[in-house]
Amino acid sequence: MTEPHVHILMGTKNGGMFLADQLASIRGQSHQDWSLWASDDGSTDGTWGALENFKAETPHHDIHLLKGPQSGVAANYYKLLKNQELDGRWVAFSDQDDIWLPYKLSRAVALVGRLGGRCVYSSRSYYVDQTGGRLGTSPMLNRPYRFGNAIVQNVLRGNTIVIPPIVTNYLRSILSTTDVAETPFHDWWMYQAITGAGFGILHDQKPGVLYRQHGANLVGAPVRHLRRRARYMADGTLVNWIDANAAAMYRIAPVLTVTAREQLLRFLDWRSQSHTKGRAALTSLGIYRQTQAGDLALRALAQLKRF
């Protein structure tokens, strides 16, 4: 069977320090039928020059270099996904500072193909430091990848995602409803929109990416940035993100499954209740995080009237 062409979408901004490694890893993929769409969001370092050099040095692949909207990371990826040439295409999302293992694309395409092309691929990652030294591996996740989880947690890591044509077309069809200034993360929005519409998530236990940890990570690996994540919970940032995502999902409610739509409406009603002591537990609404500790953290925030 002929391997499908995969369009790789990469958002960049001041990625000069690590970009060469990521580009080299894309060039070294065992799945060689790919093109790269890189959208630079106003870099002031050597990122644009590195992209131009890569294009000149990679003549056998289509390399599209675009200027981003400069409205944040999520908006940059949304703009890429809106490109009409992506209709009916396989799409992979790439960060600017990671390293793909050689089998990443071929394994993703093969596994999704075996499941009929109605699910989205993601995988575990190896955490590495700025020089590429191993720090550990992302945790195994044991709870289901469903809309009830996506409402309050993102486990669909953007640097691992590969989506088949039917999902590409679906996401493109709802992009016009998305306020790019509102949704905090493109991958979290995808996790909600995908599970909400009834598509599956294939989370590969075999890591396919070296996920680089450094000071510029917006969120970073949970085990490497515990203080930052705790601060997001404590200062209301997480709650604001959840509310923004819920508002975005409300706008596409007609395309959600009946189950997802009912969960969303129950959650919005739960959030609107002024008397927090009388509220039902989120888990009773089918809304949960991937660990019991995560569930308890949300419950504590609710009791403290911070959620």
Query: Could you tell me if residue 224 is inside a domain?
Result: no
Of residues 163, 149, 17, 153, the one with CA closest to residue 88: 163
Q: If you count DSSP H runs as helices and E runs as strands, how many of each does the chain have, helices first?
A: 11, 9
Split at pLDDT 50, 70, 90, the class of 224 is very low
Please indicate, yes or no, whether residues 122 and 271 belong to a single structural domain of this protein: no
Exposure letters 164-182 (e unless 16+ CB within 10 A, then b) = beebbeebbebeeebebee
The predicted-structure confidence for 159-188, as pLDDT tens digits, reads as follows 999 999 999 999 999 998 877 668 989 999
Tally Cβ neighbours within 10 Å of residue 270.
18
Query: Could you tell me if residue 294 is inside a domain?
Result: yes
Task: Give the pLDDT of residue 221.
Answer: 54
* Mean pLDDT computed over 77-85: 96
pLDDT averaged over the chain?
91
pLDDT higher at 245 or 214: 245
Rounded Cα–Cα distance for residues 32 and 102 (Å): 10
Rounded Cα–Cα distance for residues 303 and 300 (Å): 5
The predicted-structure confidence for 268-294, as pLDDT tens digits, reads as follows 999 888 766 778 889 999 999 999 998
Rounded Cα–Cα distance for residues 132 and 107 (Å): 22
Q: For residue 209, what is the enclosing H or E element? A: strand 200-212
For the CA atoms of the chain, what is the radius of gyration? 19
User: Could you say which of 199, 219, 239 is where a domain stops?
Assistant: 219
Please indicate, yes or no, whether residues 186 and 52 belong to a single structural domain of this protein: yes
Please indicate, yes or no, whether residues 214 and 243 belong to a single structural domain of this protein: no
Rounded Cα–Cα distance for residues 130 and 213 (Å): 6
Task: Give the pLDDT of residue 297.
Answer: 86
Q: Please state which of the ranges 20-34, 77-91, 226-240 shows the lowest mean pLDDT.
A: 226-240
Query: Could you tell me if residue 251 is inside a domain?
Result: yes
* Mean pLDDT computed over 293-304: 85
For the entire predicted model, the pTM comes to 0.92
Task: Give the pLDDT of residue 237.
Answer: 87
Residues 6+ positions from 84 with CB-CB distance below 8 Å? none
> 46 pLDDT exceeds 90?
yes
Residue 251 structural domain: 231-303
The predicted-structure confidence for 96-143, as pLDDT tens digits, reads as follows 999 999 999 999 999 999 999 899 999 999 999 888 888 899 999 989
User: Could you say which of 219, 242, 263 is where a domain stops?
Assistant: 219
Q: Please state which of the ranges 6-10, 19-23, 303-307 shows the lowest mean pLDDT.
A: 303-307
Query: Could you tell me if residue 38 is inside a domain?
Result: yes
pLDDT higher at 305 or 296: 296
Of residues 208, 212, 168, 211, the one with CA closest to residue 29: 208
Please indicate, yes or no, whether residues 61 and 191 belong to a single structural domain of this protein: yes
Please indicate, yes or no, whether residues 239 and 201 belong to a single structural domain of this protein: no
* Mean pLDDT computed over 38-64: 96
Please indicate, yes or no, whether residues 58 and 156 belong to a single structural domain of this protein: yes
Task: Give the pLDDT of residue 238.
Answer: 86
What 3-state DSSP class applies to 251? helix
Please indicate, yes or no, whether residues 128 and 23 belong to a single structural domain of this protein: yes
In total, how many domains does the chain have? 2
Query: Could you tell me if residue 211 is inside a domain?
Result: yes
Of residues 202, 195, 305, the one with CA closest to residue 252: 195
User: Could you say which of 167, 192, 219 is where a domain stops?
Assistant: 219
Query: Could you tell me if residue 23 is inside a domain?
Result: yes
